[in-house]
């Protein structure tokens, strides 16, 4: 499958089969995330793999848009170490790039994913810090729910010329 | 080429040939960027294509890490409309995901790219707002320099098990 087709058929998946995601696929997704660029090469991202059923159910309860976690076999909480590197103010951008890379990697492996925002909502951040014991300078950035999809990978094209300017606004 | 190989051979490119990037390739990169997810589907990203030589030279002057723009044929300034959608606080994450998607799309098209941060440095934001006439609620997020690379796409693997936790930190 062409790379651009992977990009255009990645979509938010909200219905997942209960089948587990193999450790090999989880590692491929994390390895892809860690191939993303970071400001001053800080590699500020940190990851919490969640596959414990009780914890996934609790995640579905504490995040307002994470109900699919109650059915999915896997979630990865992408965090950022806000003290890493020489330009730590960019940590949310580092984390966002990693999340998108992981969603695309998942799609290329025929897995579905859903990005649920945590940062900058401090209430959501605090709930994940408490649930997962996230320490010190590390902050939870986003929840990525992953699993074998029960929805099709439809083609999305949101190209809009009105959003493009040339040499000046 | 395997999708994961594209991800792992994307790297920051800082030396570019002067050959122009064709309009067809520019459109493919922008189309890929607009296939990225946005919070509440706000599609908050906006794009300014810069291929004017004087403007590229000025960009190399006003951004401390954008010297390669003085040789590159193209830059895309990725902006966010901070008033778009129902959760506008996520606009920098929307923009970061689009930048990463565009870098990967460029790599898949054998083009190199370099991500230069603008937001949240207000001094850099102001300089781009003035240079490009960026209006009202729109803010410049990042500069993406693009061109035919004069450096190889080496394989990067930054996988680090110490950054991964399981069910709890």
How confident is the prediction along chain A (169 residues), in pLDDT tens digits per residue?
899 999 999 999 999 999 999 999 999 999 999 999 999 999 999 999 999 999 999 999 999 999 999 999 999 999 999 999 999 999 999 999 999 999 999 999 999 999 999 999 999 999 999 999 999 999 999 999 999 999 999 998 899 999 999 999 9
Q: Name residue, tokens 């004069």.
A: B150
Name the residue in chain B with its Cα closest to that of A12. B37
**pLDDT by residue (tens digit) across B73-110?**
999 999 999 999 999 999 999 999 999 999 999 999 99
Q: Which ipTM was obtained for this model? A: 0.98
Cβ–Cβ of B104/A7 closer than 8 Å?
yes
Whether A137 is covered by a domain: the verdict is yes
Chain B within 8 Å of A134 (Cβ-Cβ)? yes
DSSP string, B49-71: EE--HHHHHHHHHHSTT-GGGGT
Tell me whether residues A1 and B6 touch, CB distance under 8 A.
Answer: no
**How far apart, in whole angstroms, are the C-alpha atoms of residue B114 and residue B15?**
10
Query: Domain residues for A111?
Result: 15-150
Distance linking the first and last C-alpha atoms of chain B: 36
The minimum CA-CA distance between B80 and chain A, rounded to whole Å, is 10
Please judge whether B32 and A4 are an interchain contact, meaning their C-beta atoms are less than 8 angstroms apart: yes
Kindly state whether residue A51 falls inside one of the protein's structural domains.
yes
The first and second tokens of residue A122, run together, are: 């401090």
> Does residue A6 lie in a domain region?
no
**Strand, helix or coil for residue A164:** strand
- The residue among B26, B34, B47, B5 whose CA lies nearest residue B106 is B26
Q: Which residue among B7, B117, B159 places its CB closest to the CB of A101?
A: B7
CATH number of the domain that residue B127 is part of: 3.40.109.10
> HSE on the CB side for B38, CA within 13 Å?
26
B165:A97 CB<8 A:
no
Cis amide prior to A119 (ω within 30 degrees):
no
If you count residue pairs, one on A and one on B, with CB atoms under 8 Å apart, how many are there?
A: 182
Indicate whether A158 belongs to any domain: no
Q: Which of A5-9, A67-71, B128-132, B152-156 has the lowest mean pLDDT?
A: B152-156
Partner A contacted by B87 (CB < 8 A) = yes
Task: Indicate the pLDDT class of residue B31, thresholds 50, 70 and 90.
Answer: very high
Residue B30 resides in a domain: yes
Give residue B103's pLDDT: 98
Question: Is residue A157 included in any domain, yes or no?
Answer: no
Closest Cβ opposite residue B101 in set A7, A121, A157: A7
Contact (CB<8Å) B30/A164: yes
- Provide the domain count of chain B: 1
Among residues B163, B110, B38, B86, which one has the least CA distance to residue A12?
A: B38
Q: Let me know if residue A163 belongs to a domain.
A: no
pTM: 0.98
Q: What is the dihedral of CA B87, A43, B149, B141, to 10 degrees?
A: 30
User: In terms of Cα–Cα distance, which of A4, A163, A156, A166 is closest to B23?
Assistant: A166
A155 assigned to some structural domain: no
Nearest to A142 by CA among A84, A93, A76: A76
d(C-alpha A94, C-alpha A79), whole Å:
10
């Amino acid at each position: 499958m062409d790379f651009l087709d992977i990009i255009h058929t990645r979509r938010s998946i909200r219905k997942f089969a209960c089948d587990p995601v193999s450790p090999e696929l989880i590692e491929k997704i994390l390895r892809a995330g860690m191939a993303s660029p970071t400001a001053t090469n800080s590699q500020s991202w940190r990851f919490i793999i969640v596959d414990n059923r009780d914890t996934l159910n609790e995640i579905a309860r504490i995040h307002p848009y994470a109900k699919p976690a109650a059915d999915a076999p896997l979630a990865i909480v992408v965090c950022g170490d806000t003290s890493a590197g020489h330009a730590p103010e960019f940590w949310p951008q580092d984390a966002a790039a990693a999340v998108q890379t992981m969603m695309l990697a998942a799609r290329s492996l025929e897995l579905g994913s859903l990005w649920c925002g945590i940062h900058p909502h401090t209430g959501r951040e605090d709930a994940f810090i408490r649930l997962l014991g996230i320490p010190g300078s590390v902050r939870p950035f986003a929840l990525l729910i992953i699993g074998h999809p029960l929805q099709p990978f439809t083609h999305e094209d949101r190209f809009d010329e009105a959003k493009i300017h040339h040499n000046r606004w």
